[in-house]
Amino acid sequence: MTFRLGLTGSIGMGKSTTAALFAAAGLPVWDADASVHRLYAPGGAAVAPIASLHPAACRDGGIDREVLKSWIAADPIALARIEAIVHPLVAADRARFLADAAADIVVLDIPLLFEKSSQSEFDATLLVTAPAALQRHRVLARPGMTEAQFQSILARQMPDAEKRRLATHIVETLDLASTQAYVTALISHIRNRHA
């Protein structure tokens, strides 16, 4: 039976880097954000249903995420309407990934895993975290990111301390070498416990 590891962490914590380390170790990794990008791309399954709700969101055969952000900011029910379309499509994409994955361990990278209370769907969870000052530094170093945008994103995410209480495993991403060592050790731990 395939072991399902749910990978999560707030913005700027090092989750994408950690996911890449699992992939480099040969584990199949499913990325919820990448799934949404595919759904919004030209010809994606979410394009027509979202365009029927908000035609301005459709550009060049795909969904313009900036237009969606503006719509969500202006309309209090827009996000719920978008999620009603996108969440079932993402769930179907994840189910296809799991059905096709021929590995003893798979990693599912889900930013809002705890916010959506979906931890029961996994055999274990791994929280990627870092000190608040390092998180802030990483996020504000991103092109175009402002302090106001960062605070807005943080406000929508569960506090790190609460995520720590919910997680099965926790890795602090202070540097690449120690994160790599943790990933290697965790893979061995899972294989030894669930062989």
Percent of the chain whose predicted confidence (pLDDT) is above 90: 78
Distances (CA, A) of 102 to 72, 98, 129: 39, 8, 29
pLDDT (mean) for 165-191 = 96
Contact 105, 5 (CB under 8 A): yes
3-state secondary structure string across 78-128: HHHHHHHHHHHHHHHHHHHHHHHCCCCEEEEECCCCCCCCCHHHCCEEEEE
SS3 132: helix
| Rounded CA separation 24/18 (Å) | 10
What single string gives the DSSP state of each residue in 31-57?
A: EHHHHHHHHHSTT-TTHHHHHHH-GGG
Give yes or no for residue 184 having a pLDDT over 90.
yes
Q: Which of 3-7, 77-81, 114-118, 146-150 has the highest mean pLDDT?
A: 3-7
74-103 as b/e, with b when 16 or more CB fall inside 10 Å? Answer: eeeebeebbeebbeebbeebbeebeeebee
pLDDT (mean) for 10-24 = 95
pLDDT (mean) for 171-180 = 95
pLDDT at res. 195 = 66
**Token pair 């969870």 is at which residue?**
125
Phi then psi for residue 163, to 5 deg, are: -60, -40
pLDDT one-digit tens code per residue, 147-163 = 888 888 888 889 999 99
